[in-house]
């Protein structure tokens, strides 16, 4: 249900942007870089089996016309309760917590010129590559196998598509849909 809502919102943003694009006169070449993007969202990693809350940030800088690179960092944490023991001696509940910090680089290509988009809108496709720093902890005294949850691959790969609406020349709001972490957030153009 949430995924359908996010996709519907993205489709609405694209439609409104396309309509607005027809109303606007051509503008000079836009610079996308020097932008701090901060967002919160939902990530889904197959080995977890459920969605988790994610916080992330990146800083974009221009590389070529309509193309930016952005070093990024993210954060999510998840936990599990696990009963260990046997029917004769009883069971004890232990907690497992895993914290993951993905870091890397995101490359973004903007399609505004191709779509003849209004200056108020940015539309893009992107890819991220990096690695995940993982910290896994069990409660003290847990005597069982500590390798039950394998954790994410150290290699972090993600594909994105998104849109940003510029509320002013300095602040925008964006929706970034991706294969791993989808976020909504604020963009600060410095």
Q: What percent of the chain shows pLDDT beyond 70? A: 74
44: Cβ contacts below 8 Å, ≥ 6 apart: 50, 51, 52, 180
Secondary structure class of 166 (helix, strand, coil): strand
Question: What pLDDT score was predicted for residue 142?
Answer: 67
Residue 39 in this model has a pLDDT that exceeds 60: yes
Residues 53-105: tens digit of each pLDDT: 999 999 999 999 999 999 999 998 888 777 777 788 778 777 777 888 889 99
HEC per residue, 51-113: EEEEEEEEEEEEEECCEEEEEEEEEEEEEEEEEEEECCCEEEEEEEEEEEEEEEEEEEEECHH
Q: What is the pLDDT of residues 120-151, one digit of tens each?
A: 999 999 999 998 888 877 777 666 665 655 55
Lowest mean pLDDT among 32-46, 47-61, 78-92, 146-160: 146-160
31-45, 52-66, 114-128, 166-180: which range is least confident on average? 31-45
**pLDDT (mean) for 180-188:** 92
State the pLDDT at residue 145: 61
SS3 state at 23:
helix
If phi > 0 it is left, if psi is from -120 to 50 it is alpha, else beta; for residue 118 that is: beta
Closest CA to 41 of 188, 175, 190, 187: 175
Question: How high is the pLDDT of residue 149?
Answer: 53
User: Which residue's structure tokens are 């944490």?
Assistant: 77
Pairwise pLDDT comparison (149 vs 154), residue with the higher score: 154
Number of H-type helices and E-type strands within the chain: 2, 8
């Amino acid at each position: 249900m949430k995924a359908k809502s996010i996709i519907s919102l993205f489709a609405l943003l694209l439609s409104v942007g396309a309509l607005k694009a027809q109303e606007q006169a051509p503008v000079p070449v836009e610079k996308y870089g020097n932008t701090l993007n901060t967002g919160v969202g939902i990530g889904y990693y197959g080995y977890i089996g459920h969605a988790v809350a994610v916080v992330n940030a990146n800083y974009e800088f221009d590389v070529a016309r309509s193309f930016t690179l952005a070093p990024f960092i993210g954060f999510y944490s998840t936990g599990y309760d696990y009963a260990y023991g046997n029917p004769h001696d009883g069971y004890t509940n232990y907690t497992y917590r895993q914290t993951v910090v993905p870091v890397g680089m995101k490359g973004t290509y903007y399609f505004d010129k191709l779509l003849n988009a209004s200056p108020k809108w940015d539309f893009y496709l992107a890819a991220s590559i990096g690695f995940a720093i993982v910290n896994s902890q069990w409660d003290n005294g847990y005597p069982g196998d500590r390798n039950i949850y394998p954790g994410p691959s150290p290699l972090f790969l993600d594909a994105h598509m998104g849109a940003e609406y510029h509320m002013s020349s300095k602040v925008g709001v964006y929706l970034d849909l991706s294969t791993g972490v989808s976020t909504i957030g604020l963009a600060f153009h410095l």
